[in-house]
Structures are given as structure tokens and as C-alpha cells.
């Protein structure tokens, strides 16, 4: 008697739909033991997460506020995923996008609301795109590993924003805190229902729709998919692989950069130290969980928004470190990867010897 | 002046050296490990907690090795036995490591221990220029010298080393020759992870004998890039690690001298240079000068053999 694994001819769609949900459930279960080990009642903590993030209008609005940058960054990362390109640098692209948008808001002196927002958006788009474009160029030209380049550029981006807010851009009236002066009203997005929910959220949904149409309804989107799944075939078909790699990473970073615009124009109204608490890293999980679908990105971003708002409440009520959310996200990924195996393979008990 | 700088170079380079060596062992067996950053943190906390509880530095280092060996086994099971995506699993490990050490390290913040002290080797430490930097260091640094040699010897002078290298090049061939592919891959990932953990322990037991949340600060990622620079060879890893130790040492020196350049800009240098080095070494790789394991990153399934 021996256990063997056998590849499934067809993986069932039901199984493929259930595994992400199952992975989150198992990760919650295991994380419960981590909470227990640090002296926290997991059930009470989980209840707090749900109540805080979904139990009131205010909680829900806060969840949507956190969902907003996650959708942008998640869309960016997932676009690159389509082509089997890894953009691990969304975090840095958010910072650079936020910096570019803030530069326009602080120094352009434009009064017109729409012109100002348009310029801020464009600046963030181009800056985030160029930041990722460096990795895209290196990858397309010399096959330099884009995982390492995009990741290392995060550190540089964050340090550069720190340099600005601790140095030349620091608000002289800011009591020496690492932040710039507040934006004028013309550089602020609309807010709704007396909450912090801003129009960036609807912009994020709109971008998701555009990307969906782009990927599913245009030749360009089709090319990206072909190059991703079979680069050799794409080359034989005369598609420009190198140029597309650069363009996709540029666009990927540009969309993540817009998250930076949305954060400073909609929420913070200034550039400051720690403008993103790791949205760019959460975006990688979102893209992976969403299985490259734009609609999926929106749904998973919302789930992660719940987790982030919940994580804040765990910090406040249980004095748990906010980085706990990372441990939880890591666990989800572990279980998701493990469960993928059971989607692709079945395990059978067979009789007979080793080579039967 | 040069003596001081060389000494600081070795000290700053050692944690990166351990991490690079561990990553080389992983990748030689064909498994990419992007969890180095998280494993370093796990090693740093385990090492500190072990020493804090027992009062012994040796116990701390062993604890770091064992705990990261176990953490590495998660990556090993997912990538080897379950043939999962190596990149995602590694990223998950980094996130998991950052989170779990923040959670369990909370009680260790502000605690103190007696860290590793210098042990001068008689006569040799009196050599001009290099004497102090090489022969008046702590035991972990001497151990890292030894490890560079052991890993080189293992890969190029033993049968097992050859078998592990074959796993990274052509696992099907190794399988045909009767090498237990999955077992060896599993061990390469876990032992490599354990060595990364010792690099983490160096941070919390030697560099600054205390636990600080997220104290690896990107060194794990620099190590991942240095593997390519080193062409998957342990002696070259030493060169790479000290290059970065040197940049870090100079950056600290500049700050200490009270330069007008912002500290934030100076702190960018190691990351910036890592990218430059990565680009240059990849260009060399294109010209066929290096030896990236042929099946690096690919899952192995016996059924797929042709």
C-alpha cells in the first residue's frame, strides 16, 4: 500500500472557487493559536475585527478608505502578473506617486480645482510608472530580475520621501514633524457622508472597470496574456516582447502611483512619513488571491480592507503590533499555495510495490 | 583609518554573508527563496530569546538555527513536496517573518544581553592593516570564514554536494541516478534557511545586542541579489557581502564625520549599489560567464520526465 499523487485532468471550477475561501478560513484558525499564545482570546479578537470594520457606517467607511489604495495597487500588481512579471515594488511606486502629486499640489500654485487634480493625477501616474519602468527597462534589455529591482527600489523611494519631509519639503509651521504643509482646497478630492470616504474610491472602481475592458476586449490585452503564458509563441507571432514588458511594468507602476495620488489628495492632504503602511505588499497577496481578475482584485481588496481596519482595532484594544496583519497575510498565502496542490493533484492509495 | 574601515566592513558584511550563503544552498538545489528577509528576522528574535533565556550565546545561535530551520521547512514543503510557486511562498515567508517576530518580540523590546565579544588570535591579530579586521573579531565571524570553506568543499569536493548541484541543474537526471530528489531538496532549503537564521542572530547577538522590530532592514533582499553577483559560489559571496559591508561602513563613517549630506540619502546607497551590482552581474551572466542553476525556480514532478 502506498500513497501516490496523480495530476487531475481537469481541475474542478468549484474547487478553484472554494480554495481561496478555505485558505482564509484555515489561516484564521491557525492565527487563532498565535493570538492564544500571546494571551489574546481569538474569538473575541475576531469579533472585534468584524464589528470595527463592518458593524457601523463609520467602520464601513473606514474599510472602504483602506480598500481604495489596495484596489489601485492590487490592479497594478495583477496587471504585471498577467504577463508573469513580478512587480513587488508597488509600495515604492505609491510613495513616488504620492510625492509627485504632492509636488504639484504644493508648488504649482494653480487655483483651478479640476486642472490641479488632473495635473496631480498625471504627475503621480508618470512618476509611479517611471519608477517601475526602470525595472521594466532592465528586465526587457538585460533580463535583470525584476523581483529584486522593484523590491530594492521600495527602500530607495521610502527613504527619498523621508528625505523630503524631514528636509526641504518640511512644513516650517509643522512643529518639526516629518510632514509637508497642508494642501489647499483645490488639491483635495471630494469627501462624502461626513466620513473620510473620498472620491478616490470611485476612481479606483472606474480604473478596475477600464482595466477589465482593456484586458478582455483589446488586442493589447490579448498580447499581454499570450506573452505571459507562452513567450516563445508570442515571439513567433511577431509580438514585441521586450517593449511589452517595459510598457506593462510602466503601466503597473503608474496605477500603483495613482494610489499615492489618491492617498494624499483624498485622505492625508499632505505628504508625510509612512504614507503607506505596506499597501504595496498587501497588493501582492490581493493580486495572487484574485487570480489576475480585475473584479477579483476589487473583492479581495475589500476583504483585506476589513483585515487592516480590524488590525488597527486589535492594536488599540489588545495592544497587538500592527505587523500582525502581515503574519496573517503570510499564513493565507501559505495555505493558498498548499491548497493549490490539491486542486491540481489527487491523492490515491494504491496497492503494490514501489513501481507498480 | 583604513584599519578601522576594514574592521567595520567585515562586521557589517557578516550578517549579509550568512544570509547569502544560506540562499546559495537553497538555489543550488533549484529552489528560489525570497523569504530570506523574514527568516533573518526569525533568526534574530530566536537567537536573542535563546540567549536571553539561557544566558549562553551558543544556545542563542543554536536556537536561531533550529527555529529558522523549522520555518524554512514551511517553504520547503510548499515548494518541494507540494510544487507550489516559489516566489509567492518566499514572499509569504517574508511577510510571516515580519509579522510573527513583531508579535512574539514585543516582550523582548528593551531587554539586554551580553553580546559576542572580540577574541584576538595571538600574533595574527598584530599583522598590519588586515590583522585587526580578520583576526580580532568575534567567534561568529570566525565561524562565517569556516562556513565559506565548508560550503565550497561540500559542493565541489563531496558526492552529496554534486548531487545537490545536480538537483538545481537537472533533477530528472539526479532522479534517474537514484538521488532522493525531494529529500535532498528539502534539506537544502531547511539547512540553508537555518544558516540565514544565524545571519539574523548575528544582528541581535553581535551587531547590536538587543531585539529591535524589523531590525534586518532589507539585508535579506540584498543577500538575494548578491547570490547572483556571487555566481552561486561561496567564496565570491564573501567578496559581495564585504563590498556591501564596506558601503555601509563608509556611510556610517560619513555620518559620524558630520557630513552635510542627508542621512536618508546616505542610507539609500547600499540599495542603490545592490541594483547596480545586480545589473552588472546579470549582464555578465548573459555572456555566459556565470552559472545560474539550469532549473532554478521550476517545480519537479517525476511524471513530467521526458
**Backbone Cα Rg of chain A:** 22
Cβ neighbours of A163 in B, within 8 Å: 262, 264-265
Output the CATH code of domain B2-304. 1.10.3470
**Backbone Cα Rg of chain B:** 19
Distance CA B16, CA B138 (A): 16
Catalogue the long-range contacts made by B135-144 (C-beta closer than 8 Å, 24 or more residues apart). B136/B7, B137/B7, B137/B10, B137/B11, B138/B206, B139/B57, B140/B14, B140/B61, B140/B116, B140/B198, B140/B201, B140/B202, B140/B205, B140/B206, B141/B10, B141/B11, B141/B14, B141/B206, B143/B198, B144/B14, B144/B17, B144/B18, B144/B21
User: Cβ of A166 under 8 Å from any chain B Cβ?
Assistant: yes
The pLDDT of residue A356 is: 42
**Structural domain contains residue A341:** no
Of A167, A284, A330, the CB nearest to B262: A167
CB contact under 8 A, A341 and B84: yes
Q: Please state the pTM of the whole predicted model.
A: 0.90
Q: What is the 3-state secondary structure (H, E, C) of chain B?
A: CHHHHHHHHHHHHHHHHHHHHHHHHHHHCCCCCCCHHHHHHHHHHHHHHHHHHHCCHHHHHHHHHHHHHHHHHHHHHHHHHCCCCHHHHHHHHHHHHHHHHHHHCHHHCCCCCCCCCCEECCCHHHCCCHHHHHHEECHHHHHHHHHHHHHHHHHHHCHHHHHHHHHHHCHHHHHHCCCCHHHHHHHHHHHHHHHHHHHHHHHHHHHCCCCCCCCCCCHHHHHHHHHHHCCCCHHHHHHHHHHHHHHHHHHHHHHHCCCCCCHHHHHHHHHHHHHHHHHHHHHHHHCCCCCCCCCCCCCCCHHHCC
Query: Burial, B190: exposed, middle or buried (Cβ in 10 Å; 0-12, 13-18, 19+)?
Result: buried
Give whole-number Cα distances, A278 to A85, A88, A326, B289, in Å.
Answer: 20, 11, 9, 38
Residue pair B156/B28 in contact (Cβ under 8 Å)? The answer is no
The pLDDT of residue A131 is: 96
**Structural domain contains residue A331:** no
The pLDDT of residue A354 is: 52
Q: Which of A156, A330, A336, A340 to mutate to test the interface with B (most CBs of B within 10 A)?
A: A330
Distance CA B264, CA B271 (A): 12
B252-284 tens-digit pLDDT: 888 788 777 888 888 898 899 889 988 988 887
Distance from CA of A114 to the nearest CA of B (A): 34
Domain that holds residue A280: 46-319
- Cα torsion for B258, B259, B260, B263, to the nearest 10°? -90
CB contact under 8 A, B84 and A38: no
Beta bridge partners of A331: none
Cβ neighbours of A330 in B, within 8 Å: 38, 92-97, 99-100
Cβ neighbours of A338 in B, within 8 Å: 77-78, 82, 84
Number of A–B residue contacts, CB under 8 Å: 144
Cβ neighbours of B271 in A, within 8 Å: 152-153, 155-156, 159
High-pLDDT (> 70) share of chain B, %: 97
CB contact under 8 A, B104 and A37: yes
All three cell numbers of A320, joined, read: 497587538
User: Where does the pLDDT of residue A353 fall: very low under 50, low under 70, confident under 90, or very high at 90 and above?
Assistant: low
**Structural domain contains residue A40:** no
At A348, is the secondary structure helix, strand, or coil? strand
Distance CA A332, CA A330 (A): 5
Q: Which of B275, B292, B301 to mutate to test the interface with A (most CBs of A within 10 A)?
A: B275
CB contact under 8 A, A142 and B99: no
A221-246 tens-digit pLDDT: 888 888 877 777 777 877 777 888 89
A144-183 tens-digit pLDDT: 888 889 999 999 999 999 999 998 888 888 788 888 888 8
Higher pLDDT, B134 or B65: B65
Of A327, A330, A337, the CB nearest to B85: A337
**Average pLDDT over every residue of B197-211:** 94
Of A156, A163, A321, the CB nearest to B262: A163
**Structural domain contains residue A2:** no
**Structural domain contains residue A161:** yes
Beta bridge partners of B256: none
Distance CA B306, CA B170 (A): 12
Hey, how many other C-beta atoms are within 10 angstroms of the C-beta on B247? 21
Cβ neighbours of A341 in B, within 8 Å: 82-84
Our count of domains for chain A comes to: 1
Distance CA A224, CA A215 (A): 8
Distance CA A228, CA B299 (A): 18
Q: Residue A7 is inside which H or E element, if any?
A: strand A2-7
At A137, is the secondary structure helix, strand, or coil? helix
CA B10 to chain CA mean position, Å: 14
At A190, is the secondary structure helix, strand, or coil? coil
The pLDDT of residue B282 is: 86
Please provide residue A280's backbone torsions phi and psi, each rounded to the nearest 5 degrees.
-65, -30
CB contact under 8 A, B264 and A159: yes
Of A152, A167, A334, the CB nearest to B225: A152
Hey, how many other C-beta atoms are within 10 angstroms of the C-beta on B53? 12
**Structural domain contains residue A251:** yes
Query: Grid coordinates 482593456 are at which residue?
Result: A214
Of B103, B275, B279, the CB nearest to A320: B103
Sign of CA dihedral A91, B262, A100, A270: positive
All three cell numbers of B186, joined, read: 528539502
A288-305 tens-digit pLDDT: 888 778 888 999 999 999
The pLDDT of residue A1 is: 63
All three cell numbers of A69, joined, read: 489604495
All three cell numbers of A353, joined, read: 510495490
Q: State chain B's mean pLDDT as an integer.
A: 89
The pLDDT of residue B263 is: 84
The pLDDT of residue A223 is: 82
**Average pLDDT over every residue of B231-240:** 90
Q: Which of A326, A335, A342 to mutate to test the interface with B (most CBs of B within 10 A)?
A: A326
Residue A173 CB contacts under 8 Å (≥ 6 apart), including other chains: A181
- Report the CATH number that the domain containing residue A59 is assigned in CATH: 1.10.3470
Higher pLDDT, A274 or B21: B21
CA nearest to A150 within chain B = B275
The pLDDT of residue B306 is: 57
High-pLDDT (> 90) share of chain A, %: 37
> Does residue B127 register a pLDDT over 90?
no
Please provide residue A345's backbone torsions phi and psi, each rounded to the nearest 5 degrees.
-125, 155
> Does residue B290 register a pLDDT over 60?
no
Residue B164 CB contacts under 8 Å (≥ 6 apart), including other chains: B25, B28, B29, B155, B184, B188
Distance CA A151, CA A320 (A): 27
ipTM for this model: 0.90
Can you give the length of chain A in residues?
356
**Structural domain contains residue A342:** no
Cβ neighbours of B214 in A, within 8 Å: 323
Q: Of A216-220, B32-36, B98-102, B275-279, give the lowest mean pLDDT range.
A: A216-220
B55-75 tens-digit pLDDT: 899 999 999 999 999 999 999
Distance CA B43, CA B101 (A): 9
**Average pLDDT over every residue of B34-58:** 95
Q: State chain A's mean pLDDT as an integer.
A: 87
Cβ neighbours of B264 in A, within 8 Å: 159-160, 162-163, 166-167
**Structural domain contains residue A300:** yes
The pLDDT of residue A195 is: 82
For chain B, which residues make up each domain, given as ranges? 2-304
The pLDDT of residue A279 is: 93
Amino acid at each position: 500500500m502506498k500513497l501516490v499523487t496523480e495530476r487531475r485532468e481537469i481541475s474542478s471550477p468549484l474547487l478553484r472557487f472554494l480554495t481561496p475561501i478555505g485558505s482564509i478560513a484555515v489561516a484564521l484558525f491557525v492565527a487563532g493559536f498565535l493570538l492564544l499564545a500571546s494571551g489574546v482570546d481569538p474569538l473575541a479578537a475576531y469579533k472585534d475585527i468584524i464589528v470595527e470594520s463592518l458593524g457601523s457606517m463609520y467602520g464601513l467607511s473606514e474599510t472602504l478608505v483602506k480598500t481604495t489604495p489596495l484596489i489601485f495597487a492590487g490592479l497594478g500588481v495583477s496587471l504585471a502578473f498577467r504577463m508573469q512579471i513580478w512587480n513587488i515594488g508597488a509600495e515604492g511606486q505609491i510613495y513616488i506617486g504620492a510625492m509627485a502629486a504632492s509636488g504639484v499640489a504644493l508648488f504649482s500654485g494653480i487655483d483651478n480645482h479640476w486642472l490641479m487634480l488632473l495635473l496631480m493625477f498625471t504627475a503621480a501616474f508618470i512618476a509611479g510608472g517611471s519608477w517601475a519602468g526602470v525595472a521594466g527597462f532592465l528586465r526587457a534589455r538585460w533580463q535583470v530580475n525584476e523581483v529584486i529591482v522593484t523590491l530594492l527600489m521600495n527602500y530607495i523611494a521610502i527613504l527619498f520621501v523621508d528625505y523630503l519631509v524631514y528636509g526641504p519639503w518640511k512644513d516650517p509651521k509643522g512643529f518639526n514633524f516629518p510632514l509637508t504643509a497642508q494642501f489647499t482646497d483645490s488639491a483635495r478630492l471630494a469627501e462624502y457622508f461626513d466620513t473620510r470616504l473620498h472620491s478616490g474610491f470611485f476612481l479606483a472602481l472606474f480604473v478596475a472597470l477600464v482595466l477589465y475592458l482593456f484586458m478582455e476586449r483589446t488586442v493589447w490585452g490579448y498580447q499581454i496574456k499570450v506573452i505571459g503564458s507562452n513567450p516563445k509563441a508570442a515571439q513567433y507571432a511577431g509580438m514585441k516582447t521586450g517593449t511589452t514588458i517595459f510598457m506593462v511594468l510602466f503601466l503597473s507602476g503608474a496605477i500603483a502611483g495613482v494610489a499615492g495620488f489618491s492617498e494624499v489628495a483624498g485622505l492625508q492632504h499632505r505628504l508625510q512619513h509612512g504614507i503607506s503602511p505596506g499597501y504595496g505588499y498587501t497588493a501582492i497577496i490581493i493580486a495572487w488571491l484574485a487570480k489576475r481578475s480585475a473584479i477579483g482584485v476589487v473583492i479581495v481588496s475589500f476583504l483585506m480592507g476589513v483585515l487592516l481596519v480590524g488590525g488597527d482595532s486589535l492594536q488599540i484594544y489588545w495592544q497587538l503590533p500592527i505587523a500582525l496583519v502581515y503574519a496573517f497575510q503570510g499564513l493565507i498565502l501559505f495555505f493558498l499555495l498548499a491548497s493549490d496542490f490539491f486542486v491540481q493533484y489527487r491523492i490515491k492509495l494504491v496497492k503494490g510495490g514501489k513501481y507498480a | 583609518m583604513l584599519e578601522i574601515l576594514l574592521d567595520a566592513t567585515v562586521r557589517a558584511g557578516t550578517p549579509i554573508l550568512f544570509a547569502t550563503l544560506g540562499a546559495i544552498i537553497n538555489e543550488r538545489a533549484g529552489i528560489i527563496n525570497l523569504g530570506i528577509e523574514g527568516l533573518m528576522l526569525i533568526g534574530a528574535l530566536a537567537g536573542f530569546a535563546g540567549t536571553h533565556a539561557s544566558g549562553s550565546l551558543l544556545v542563542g545561535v543554536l536556537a536561531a538555527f533550529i527555529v529558522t530551520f523549522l520555518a524554512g521547512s514551511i517553504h520547503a514543503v510548499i515548494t518541494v513536496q507540494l510544487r507550489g510557486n516559489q516566489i509567492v511562498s518566499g514572499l509569504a515567508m517574508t511577510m510571516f517573518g515580519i509579522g510573527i517576530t513583531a508579535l512574539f518580540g514585543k516582550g523582548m523590546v528593551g531587554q539586554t544581553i551580553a553580546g559576542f565579544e572580540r577574541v584576538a588570535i595571538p600574533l595574527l591579530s598584530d599583522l598590519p592593516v588586515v590583522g585587526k579586521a580578520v583576526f580580532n573579531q568575534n567567534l561568529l565571524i570566525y565561524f562565517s570564514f569556516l562556513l565559506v570553506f565548508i560550503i565550497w568543499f561540500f559542493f565541489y569536493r563531496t558526492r552529496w554536494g554534486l548531487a545537490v548541484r545536480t538537483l538545481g541543474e537537472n533533477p530528472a537526471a539526479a532522479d534517474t541516478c537514484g538521488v532522493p530528489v525531494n529529500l535532498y531538496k528539502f534539506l537544502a532549503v531547511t539547512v540553508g534557511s537555518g544558516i540565514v537564521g544565524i545571519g539574523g542572530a548575528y544582528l541581535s547577538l553581535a551587531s547590536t545586542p538587543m531585539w529591535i522590530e524589523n531590525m534586518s532592514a532589507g539585508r535579506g533582499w540584498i543577500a538575494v541579489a548578491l547570490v547572483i553577483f556571487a555566481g552561486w559560489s561561496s567564496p565570491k559571496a564573501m567578496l559581495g557581502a564585504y563590498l556591501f559591508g564596506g558601503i555601509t561602513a563608509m556611510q556610517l563613517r560619513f555620518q559620524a564625520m558630520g557630513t552635510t549630506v542627508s542621512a536618508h540619502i546616505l542610507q539609500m546607497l547600499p540599495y542603490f549599489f545592490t541594483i547596480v551590482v545586480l545589473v552588472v552581474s546579470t549582464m555578465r551572466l548573459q555572456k555566459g560567464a556565470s552559472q545560474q542553476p539550469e532549473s532554478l525556480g521550476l517545480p519537479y514532478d517525476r511524471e513530467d520526465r521526458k
